[in-house]
Structure 1
Amino acid sequence: MTDLRLHRTGEGPAVLWFHGYTMDSTTWQPLWDRLPGWTHIGVDLPGHGGSPPIPPGLTLTALAGQLAEVARETGARRVVALSFGSMSALQLAIQEPELVDRLVLAAPTLAGTPNEDSARRRYQQLAMLHRLTGPGEQLADLWMQSPPDIFKGTERHPELRAELRAVVARHSWAELGNRAMDALTAHRHTGQDLALITARTLVLVGDEDMPAFVRNGELLRAAVPDCGLLTLARCGHLPLLERPDAVAPLIAAHLR
């Protein structure tokens, strides 16, 4: 039995939800409120929310194995994932294709593809600040600054931005101290890997997202056998959170 923290709400067929880096399953509630008729199961990924810290040496394949346990235990065959969570969802769909029938990926993140330089620099700055000050609100404020434009789209939505800051501010940041993310991000998704995915897949990209993630969307459309790609207007890197009213009908139609 997995030790990952799960958040459940609703009734109906089960859907697994994988959040973005430094977030947790509480961020999904506005979308869940707009998607009745499903059992929504938010998975707090390792090191996030109520789940245990990321153990040094945890690989993406091992994490996908944990998520496969969740899928088997809950009977969920549908997955919705955002940003860092989408990397985990992709590995699950590659590694255990029989467990995933429907897949929604927003701000798609492929392991081993070039990231935004500004994101890499910001992570280095976060590690340095963490060494000086430890965890706390100062890391949340630095992480949410642009560039990189991870949270830039939330500037249109002050209430959402404040709610996300509260979530990020309680993140432990333990992975900055023990470099536990190194093994997770060392993986590489190839075109051959992506061709193994049998799930009907929908990729959602904000029209104001960073170029690396727009490229990832095109790569997925080309490599995943059954994959559609939609670009969402007036959205940045977090379209599922920025515009839940717009994306909920798209997700509902795809999951059905």
Structure 2
Amino acid sequence: MPNITTSDGISLYYEEAGQGDPLVFVHEFGGDHRSWEPQLRFFSRWYRCITFAARGYPPSDVPQDVSLYSQARAAADIGDVVDGVAGGRAHIVGLSMGGFAALHLGLMWPDKARSLVVAGSGYGAEKQHEDYFKGVSETVAATFLALGSKKFAPTYASGASRVQFQNKDSRGWLEFAERLGEHSEIGAANTMRGVQARRPSLYDLEAGLRTLAVPTLVVSGDEDDHCLQPGLFLKRVIPACGLLILPKCGHTINLEEPTAFNGFVADFLKSVEHGKWSKRDPRANPAQIMRTD
């Protein structure tokens, strides 16, 4: 199996398809490397697409020690994949947990990211919900360990921002839930405790985000409620950032609405490659409603 070894000695499994400029996909907590199949089939016509299983997700290594999981480490793992597989620089597309990690990669190692797609990212970022998010993250981790992934997966996959996917595409949702049921309980619990529950709020990163020069596209579903305000925040503070809201859409955006997702991301990548995705024009002053002089 193709794999790379991270700077701290963890083996990460990856797959690739197509030829061209490298395009790295980073999956969410509930997904894995297989979650990007609709994107690999589409983008591999023009790009060298790379998807990998995060640490804790077989066939990648599953460290038993929760201290080996963190937001910084998740970003570093993307960097190791970019260096080890993609030649040192790539477009990065991340969903949810993967979107957070992609954003942190852009902050920590901007030279590794040609562009960033930050999709479905915001859970735990809202300051008023920080304590709740940490508490429910611990509950989710404990439930994975107590029930096992296979038994808990249908419940987790039926969350408030995932029923949209189930209603639109019952077969696709069932495949998602079944694959979630194949995940390592220990890997899921350690990821939830070490990465999700401990990551800093996006609002605490404002100073760095205001200096982020990497072209960025933020994507949210309009029924993915806890990503909407963080998405607006990212749009306002990242200099070269666009915001896309998909209607009647939940959290699993790339699987729920693959045609729309692929089309908008493709247009974004083309804009970046042609030097057309620039910083916001300073004349577009958000404090101005109408010009009078």
TM over 0.5: yes
Q: Indicate which of 241, 256, 259 corresponds to 1:245.
A: 259
Q: Which stretch of the first structure deviates more once superposed, 64-73 or 34-43?
A: 64-73
Q: Distance in 1 between matches of 2:215 and 2:229?
A: 20
User: 1:154·1:161 contact (CA, 8 Å) conserved in 2?
Assistant: yes
User: 1:106·1:205 contact (CA, 8 Å) conserved in 2?
Assistant: yes
Q: 1:118 to 1:168 in 2, by over 3 A?
A: farther
User: 1:106·1:238 contact (CA, 8 Å) conserved in 2?
Assistant: no
**1:208 to 2:233 alignment:** no
| Residue of structure 2 equivalent to 1:107 | 120
Q: Distance in 2 between matches of 1:23 and 1:215?
A: 23
Q: Distance in 2 between matches of 1:176 and 1:59?
A: 13
The percentage of counterpart residues that share the same residue type is: 23
Q: Distance in 2 between matches of 1:238 and 1:175?
A: 20
Helix, strand or coil: the match of 2:93? strand
Q: 1:9 deviation in Å? A: 0.9
| Residue of structure 2 equivalent to 1:7 | 15
Q: Distance in 2 between matches of 1:253 and 1:161?
A: 27
**1:12-27 matched pairs, under 5 angstroms:** 12-27=20-35
**1:1-256 matched pairs, under 5 angstroms:** 1-2=5-6, 3-35=11-43, 36-54=45-63, 55-57=65-67, 58-73=69-84, 74-75=86-87, 76-109=89-122, 112-114=125-127, 115=129, 123-133=137-147, 135-146=148-159, 149-155=160-166, 156-175=168-187, 179=190, 181-185=192-196, 186-188=198-200, 189=202, 190-210=205-225, 212-256=226-270
Q: Distance in 1 between matches of 2:188 and 2:39?
A: 30
Q: 1:46 to 1:60 in 2, by over 3 A?
A: same
Which amino acid is the alignment partner of residue 23 of structure 1? G
User: 2:22·2:90 contact (CA, 8 Å) conserved in 1?
Assistant: yes
Q: 1:46 to 1:113 in 2, by over 3 A?
A: farther
Paired positions, count: 251
User: 2:28·2:98 contact (CA, 8 Å) conserved in 1?
Assistant: yes
Give the gaps of 5 or more residues in structure 2. Answer: 271-293
C-alpha deviations, 1:112-167, integer Å up to 9, x for none?
A: 5445888666544434434543x242110121223xx2322212111110110111
User: 1:16·1:80 contact (CA, 8 Å) conserved in 2?
Assistant: yes
- If asked which structure has higher relative contact order (CA below 8 Å, sep 6+), I would say 1
Q: 1:80 to 1:52 in 2, by over 3 A?
A: same
Q: 1:176 deviation in Å? A: 5.8
Which amino acid is the alignment partner of residue 115 of structure 2? R
Give the gaps of 5 or more residues in structure 1. Answer: none
Q: 1:248 to 1:132 in 2, by over 3 A?
A: closer
Q: Distance in 1 between matches of 2:269 and 2:49?
A: 12
C-alpha root-mean-square deviation of aligned residues, in Å? 2.3
Q: Distance in 1 between matches of 2:170 and 2:133?
A: 22
Q: 1:136 to 1:184 in 2, by over 3 A?
A: closer
